[in-house]
Amino acid sequence: MTGPDTRPDTRPDEDADPDSPEGRGGAAVVIPAAPPGSGRTGLDRRRVLGAAIEFIDAEGLNALTMRRLGAYLGVEAMALYRYVPGREQLLDGVVESVIDELYGDPDVHLAASHGWQDYLQRLAHGVRRIALAHPEVFPLVATRPPAAPWVRPPLRSLRWVESFLDALIDSGFSEASAVAAYRAYSSFLLGHLLLEVSQKGVKISPEDQPEGVPGAVATTDLSEYPTVVRLEALLSLDESAAEFEEALENLLGRLEVVLREGRTPRRGDTRG
Partner DNA sequence: ACCTGAACACCGTTCAAGT
Beta carbons within 10 angstroms of residue 118's beta carbon: 15
Q: How far is the CB of 137 from DNA (least distance, A)?
A: 16
Tell me how far apart the terminal alpha carbons of the chain are, to the nearest angstrom.
Answer: 36
Say whether the peptide bond before residue 154 is cis (omega within 30 degrees of 0): yes
Name the segment binding its own copies (CB under 8 A); options: 39-47, 99-107, 125-133, 185-193. 185-193
Determine the 3-state secondary structure of 30 from DSSP: coil
- Under the binding rule (CB under 7 A), the answer on residue 174 touching DNA is no
> What number of chain residues touch its own copies (CB under 8 A)?
81
- Under the binding rule (CB under 7 A), the answer on residue 94 touching DNA is no
Taking CB under 8 A as the criterion, which residues in 75-114 touch its own copies? 88
Partner touching 161 among DNA, its own copies, none, CB below 5 to 8 Å by kind: its own copies
Q: Give the whole-angstrom CA distance, residue 249 versus residue 266.
A: 17
Beta carbons within 10 angstroms of residue 134's beta carbon: 20
Determine the 3-state secondary structure of 223 from DSSP: helix
Taking CB under 7 A as the criterion, which residues in 7-36 touch DNA? 7, 23, 32-33
Q: Which of 13, 14, 38, 86 binds DNA (CB under 7 A)?
A: 86
Q: Which of 25, 30, 203, 208 binds its own copies (CB under 8 A)?
A: 203
Determine the 3-state secondary structure of 16 from DSSP: coil
Q: What type of residue sits at position 86?
A: G
Q: Nearer to DNA by C-beta: 11 or 114?
A: 11
Q: Give the whole-angstrom CA distance, residue 52 versus residue 32.
A: 20
Q: Which of 119, 189, 208, 263 binds its own copies (CB under 8 A)?
A: 189
Contact 116, 134 (CB under 8 A): no
Q: Mask: binding to DNA, 45-64, rule CB under 7 A, as x and -?
A: -------------------x
Q: Give the whole-angstrom CA distance, residue 177 versus residue 14.
A: 36
Taking every pair of Cα atoms in the chain, the longest distance, rounded to a whole number of angstroms, is 75
Q: Which of 41, 187, 250, 264 binds DNA (CB under 7 A)?
A: 41
Q: Give the whole-angstrom CA distance, residue 148 versus residue 71.
A: 34
Q: Which of 195, 241, 262, 263 binds its own copies (CB under 8 A)?
A: 195
- Under the binding rule (CB under 7 A), the answer on residue 40 touching DNA is no
- Under the binding rule (CB under 7 A), the answer on residue 66 touching DNA is yes
Q: Which of 152, 155, 173, 181 binds its own copies (CB under 8 A)?
A: 152
Partner touching 6 among its own copies, DNA, none, CB below 5 to 8 Å by kind: none
Partner touching 65 among its own copies, DNA, none, CB below 5 to 8 Å by kind: DNA
Name the segment binding DNA (CB under 7 A); options: 70-78, 132-140, 170-178, 251-259. 70-78
In whole angstroms, what separates CA 189 from the centre of its chain?
Answer: 9
Contact 97, 162 (CB under 8 A): no
